[in-house]
Amino acid sequence: MTFEEEIKRRRTFAIISHPDAGKTTLTEKLLLYGGAINVAGAVKSNKIKKTATSDFMEIERQRGISVATSVMGFEYQGKKINILDTPGHKDFAEDTFRTLTAVDSVIVVIDVAKGVEPQTEKLVKVCRMRKTPIIVFINKLDRDGKDAFDLLDEIESKLGIKVRPLTWPIGMGHDLKGIYNLYKRNLLLYTPNSTERVSETVNISEIADPELDNQIGAEDAEILREEVDLVESVYPPFDRDVYLNGDISPVFFGSAINTFGIQELLQCFLDIAPCPLPKASEERIVDSFEEKFTGFVFKIHANMDPKHRDRLAFVKVVSGKFKRNTNYKHIRLDRNLKFSSPTAFMAEKKSIVEEAFPGDIVGLHDTGNFKIGDTLTEGEIIHYKGIPSFSPEMFRFINNADPMKTKQLAKGVDQLMDEGVAQLFTMQTNGRKLIGTVGALQFEVIQYRLKHEYGASCNYENHNVHKACWISCEDKAQLEEFKKVKYRSMAKDKYGRDVFLADSAFTIQMSEQKFPKVKFHFTSEFED
């Protein structure tokens, strides 16, 4: 297969949603279709030993939620599919925001009963800013929920995206008969409690066909005909180019837990979703079909396998071919690195790969060389952008609860902070370590992982900080004066940069007035 053909057959996408919309279950069922797994995990029940393939961290199994992005690749009908299953919980949104820089399209999962929820709005806003193509999957059709037309109106008004249904529900909850596939013009009949991969499909190319009455009953057939007429007259015809431009989103209905409507979603996704797209760097736009390799780190995960204490940097291949045992330039460190065991993923199962193509996600064993946002190339100076660390919103001092495990705690904190899910600040006054996160659940995850992966115990102490501000100033005298006056509120981040820990918005405002030359930054990515 030629280099171009390899790129064109790849589909790299993320599944995003509010917690509990069924995102991880949908991921499972897509993997079932791909033959990548043989049995789906029961995410909801903690009593059942089988858990979701994509939730591989122990704490995820216990809580029944995803707290880290999982990467899974599989082959299906000649296409190479790379799925990134993201956390839905708002406390882990930063991991999801970064993941969205590494995908070419997204599937948004919406609960039929709850409709559009706050976290979905935030994530879709990021996609719209980047003009990422979006497919919407309305899930849990086997339960009673909102009227389909009302849901579509809500999606358009709350998410700010135009929609075009490509499947349509026949009933809902106890009355669910099936879905009509507007894309392929056929009828999919629903069998309750079926875990089979394929439900019965009936070819009905014309909605007026009397066979429709035989299959679902005259009354439901008449309602379906009226609703499909309304869909065809109200919504624009589906145009792939408009979808690829991020201006219209196809909508599918189904039930992931019952493996219903999933194949229709997957089939259409393979037809319309983009292959790897060009990506903007600070220097230029890099096309995926360029021959020379470039890629960037969008995620770091410590302890993928706690037995081996391995730390992996997840690299998205943007252009060219990544080859094992080949020297690549680490742009930030300005040195060449070679990787003897690059890995591909099936959740926590890893296999060594000889080569990878644009769109693929490669795991590189890392001894501390990488941080999120780093770029690798064959020599060209390129900086991929758009992966900042945001200013945390919650702050706690971390205390060692077991003096015998001081080294383990230091190592654990150091490695977990590299993942970018929380940030570490060292106070200038007394050297105390302060952890900042965007959500309270992060502290629980850090505490749990320190204990179970590093054997270290810790407890926390609240600290009143409103915002962490990275500071810069061209006037050295004013910078020194500021640091002297604000000495008790000054800290260093993990990379030794000055951070001002302001206790209120008013404090920031007064500081800006008193020190006009000092610049306050609320993300870690800024021009020094």
Say what the pTM is: 0.75
Q: What is the pLDDT, as a whole number, of residue 304?
A: 55
User: What digits encode the pLDDT tens for the residues 501-527?
Assistant: 999 999 999 999 999 999 998 876 544
Asked if residues 315 and 384 have their Cβ atoms less than 8 Å apart, the reply is: no
Residue 494 lies in a domain: yes
* One domain for residues 401 and 435: yes
Distances (CA, A) of 385 to 102, 119, 280, 346: 11, 24, 7, 27
Residue 456 lies in a domain: yes
User: Counting every residue, how long is the chain?
Assistant: 528
Name which of 12-16, 31-35, 38-42, 108-112 the model is least confident about.
38-42
Total domains present in the chain: 3
* One domain for residues 266 and 342: no
| Span 158-182, average pLDDT | 93
* One domain for residues 81 and 58: yes
Residue 118 lies in a domain: yes
* One domain for residues 166 and 99: yes
* One domain for residues 49 and 99: yes
User: What digits encode the pLDDT tens for the residues 128-143?
Assistant: 888 899 999 999 999 9
d(CA 21, CA 50): 20
Q: What percent of the chain has pLDDT over 90?
A: 52
Give the domain-ending residue among 316, 343, 377: 377
Asked if residues 462 and 434 have their Cβ atoms less than 8 Å apart, the reply is: no
- The CATH number of the domain holding residue 167 is 3.40.50.300
* One domain for residues 259 and 288: no
* One domain for residues 425 and 348: no
Q: What is the pLDDT, as a whole number, of residue 234?
A: 93
Residue 332 lies in a domain: yes
Residue 471: domain span: 394-521
User: What digits encode the pLDDT tens for the residues 411-421?
Assistant: 889 888 877 66
Helices 118-129 and 148-159: crossing angle in degrees, nearest 10, is 60
* One domain for residues 28 and 166: yes
The residue ranking higher by pLDDT, 523 or 466, is 466
Q: What is the pLDDT, as a whole number, of residue 194?
A: 55
* One domain for residues 413 and 338: no
* One domain for residues 411 and 310: no
* One domain for residues 414 and 506: yes
User: What digits encode the pLDDT tens for the residues 29-75?
Assistant: 888 876 655 444 433 333 333 445 444 455 555 544 444 456 788 88
Give the domain-ending residue among 251, 272, 293: 272
Burial class (CB in 10 A: 0-12, 13-18, 19+), 488: exposed
d(CA 341, CA 310): 12
| Span 356-381, average pLDDT | 90
The residue ranking higher by pLDDT, 287 or 443, is 287
User: What digits encode the pLDDT tens for the residues 192-222?
Assistant: 765 555 556 777 777 888 888 888 889 999 9
Give the domain-ending residue among 224, 245, 272: 272
Q: Which residues contact 477 (CB under 8 A, 6 or more apart)?
A: none
Residue 437 lies in a domain: yes
* One domain for residues 31 and 158: yes
